[in-house]
Amino acid sequence: MNYQAIHPPFSLDFWEMTKEELKAYFAWVMASIPDRIHQLTAFIRSDPAFSDWDPNNSESSIDILGEWMSAHVSVRERTEDELGALKGKSQYSIDPPKDVLTEESYSIGFDVGLYLAQTLIAHHPNLKWTQDFRSRKDMDFGQPLLTPFGPLQLNPIRIAINVAHGLARKQRPSTRLREVYEEWARRAA
């Protein structure tokens, strides 16, 4: 199966994008959900060990997805140019991570974030997609978020990409996706 990695028609530099660009990005993400979940499903099912995976928004589908994800995400070393550009952009003296998800793995994280969100919505119909434009200093500024979770908002794409990093670096077990799902489901109740 030839998995089509996601290629947003936007810079993804959310803090530099105009409000109109951010709204267009949000609309693009919302319109992309069915296709991205279809892409993810086809890719998962192309693995003989997961050929019967059912994206039915069940908790067991999250378990299987986490197991599959842990075997299919990876990182690559950043180039010196990439590291230099990141250091030049940062206002902090912290060195950026030397590795980054591969393009395919980033896309898997993105798609898993959409599936995670859709599963949460299926079990908690009070949740809805939204955007927050209150502060450009907020790490989730202008990005698609799920609310309400009490005083919190969930950026399911960012969370799933973070899970992908942990799985790819072998710092987290395959059950990490289920743990994340359970924590946010508890907060939604």
E strands of 74-189, at which residues? 75-77, 99-101, 128-130, 145-149, 152-154
Query: Does residue 43 have a pLDDT over 90?
Result: yes
3-state class (DSSP) for residue 168: helix
Token output for 25: 């990005």
**Mean pLDDT of the 118-140 span:** 94
78-88 pLDDT tens trace: 888 777 776 66
pLDDT at 52: 96
* Nearest residue to 167 via CA among 155, 156, 179, 154: 179
174: Cβ–Cβ under 8 A, 6 or more apart, which residues? 66, 67, 69, 70, 71, 167
Between CA 116 and CA 120 the distance in angstroms is 6
E strands of the chain, at which residues? 75-77, 99-101, 128-130, 145-149, 152-154
3-state class (DSSP) for residue 145: strand
**Mean pLDDT of the 93-117 span:** 90
**Mean pLDDT of the 19-23 span:** 95
pTM for the predicted model, two decimal places: 0.91
pLDDT at 9: 86
Model confidence at 104, in pLDDT bands (50, 70, 90)? very high
